[in-house]
């Protein structure tokens, strides 16, 4: 999805360089993954778990669900009124 997003954002520049983009993104994620399989890997996993996953993510997900429910609720009410 990252590659598709980049290709959609910059179509003129990146369409001709698609192979380089895929190779670069894959290599970047490969290097980031190597951090997790070293002896300090459990430390990095704990850091990611502590700072990236927690209450902020839960609150963000709940707000997204509330927003989507509110928007789709409005759309369904309009659709019912039209019928």
Phi, psi of 13 (to 5 degrees): -80, -40
Higher pLDDT, 77 or 68: 68
Q: What is the pTM of this model?
A: 0.57
Mean pLDDT, the chain, rounded, equals 85
pLDDT of residue 13: 86
Kindly report, residue by residue over 39-72, the tens digit of the pLDDT.
Answer: 999 999 898 888 877 788 888 889 998 988 888 8
Helix 41-52 / helix 18-36 crossing angle, nearest 10 deg: 110
User: Largest Cα–Cα distance of the chain, in whole Å?
Assistant: 63
């Amino acid at each position: 999805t990252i590659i598709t997003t980049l290709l959609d954002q910059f179509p003129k520049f990146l369409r001709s360089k698609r192979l380089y983009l895929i190779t670069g993104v894959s290599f970047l994620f490969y290097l980031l993954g190597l951090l997790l399989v070293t002896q300090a890997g459990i430390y990095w996993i704990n850091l990611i778990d502590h700072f990236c996953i927690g209450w902020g993510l839960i609150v963000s997900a709940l707000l997204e669900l509330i927003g989507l429910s509110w928007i789709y609720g409005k759309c369904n009410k309009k659709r019912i009124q039209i019928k």
